[in-house]
Structure 1
Amino acid sequence: MDWTLFFIFLAACGGAAATGVMFSPGQWYDALEKPAWTPPNWVFPVTWTVLYLFIANAGARIASEPANAYAMGFFAVQIAFNTLWTPVFFGLHKMKAALVVIAILWVAVFATTVSFWDLDFIAGILFVPYLIWVSIAAALNFEVWRLNRRGPITT
């Protein structure tokens, strides 16, 4: 593995991860009604740490592959929309807009997974958990929006 490339891709993931620190869930999210299957809060940073290591590893593997233009293009789209989702959902509290962002993110992650898989089997496999997690996150985003779309209930 080219460690320089790995750290370049890890830096991109770090930029995306930084939005999670800057726009943490907080009291607003805690007050929302959530489905029973919502993971506990501690699961999110643990999962994202592992996923970002996988994403950086996969990106580094593909960066030096010939004919990687589309794969790198899809990678750029997914990391951009990954970075965008947190400020839209947690910063702006725009759950419906976040659904649009996460839908684009899901398509980009799927396209990245497929294009990586075609170039390097291991890189493709490293993206599968990310695709699964974004699928869960999209379903959770939808359910939280659905459960709270009329606004907070006051007594």
Structure 2
Amino acid sequence: MDWSVFPLFLGACGAAAATGAMFSPGQWYRDLSKPIWTPPDWLFPLAWTVLYICSAIAATRVAVLGDSAHAMGFWAFQIALNTLWTPVFFGLERIRAGALVLSFLWISVAGCMVTFFMADTLAGLLIVPYLVWVTIAGALNLSVWRLNPEKAALG
């Protein structure tokens, strides 16, 4: 593994994480009806920190392998969608659009995981928790949509 590329992937993850600081959940989100199984607020930054580090390590392992173009394409697509979701959902307050972004994010993370497994088993394993978390986030986004039809109708 070539650790010299790790800062590049970690930096991309940091850019995605920065949107969480710029578009943090505000009163709008606190006022939404949410399912009882909604994770506590303190868990989100902790989970994302671990997931971003694992994702950057996984990408570092795969990027230096031959024939990794598809895997790295999925990684780039998922980090772009990851970066997009927070401004759409929290910044623009668009529940439906957030669900759409999350749908494509889930597909891209699943593609990333599968192609990483094909290239490097450990890299694939490092993406599994990310897919689980995005699945939970997707279920939460859809539940918020269902529980707040008047606000979801706005976008």
1:3 CA drift (Å): 2.1
Partner of 1:28: 28
Deviations 1:81-128 (A, max 9, x none): 000000000000000001110000000000000000000000000000
Partner of 1:58: 58
Partner of 2:6: 6
Supply the RMSD in Å over aligned alpha carbons: 1.0
Q: Please give the alpha-carbon distance, in whole angstroms, between the structure 2 residues aligned to 1:2 and 1:19.
A: 28
Number of positions where the alignment pairs a residue of Structure 1 with one of Structure 2: 152
Q: Which amino acid aligns with 2:56?
A: A
* Range moving further from structure 2, 2-11 or 130-139: 2-11
Unaligned runs of 5+ in 1: none
TM-score by length of 2: 0.96
Instruction: Say which SS state the counterpart of residue 151 (structure 1) adopts.
Output: helix
Percent of aligned pairs with the same residue?
58
1:150 CA drift (Å): 1.6
Partner of 1:74: 74
Q: Please give the alpha-carbon distance, in whole angstroms, between the structure 2 residues aligned to 1:47 and 1:37.
A: 16
Partner of 2:132: 132
**Alignment of 1:121 onto 2:121:** yes
Q: Which amino acid aligns with 2:133?
A: W
Q: Please give the alpha-carbon distance, in whole angstroms, between the structure 2 residues aligned to 1:94 and 1:65.
A: 39
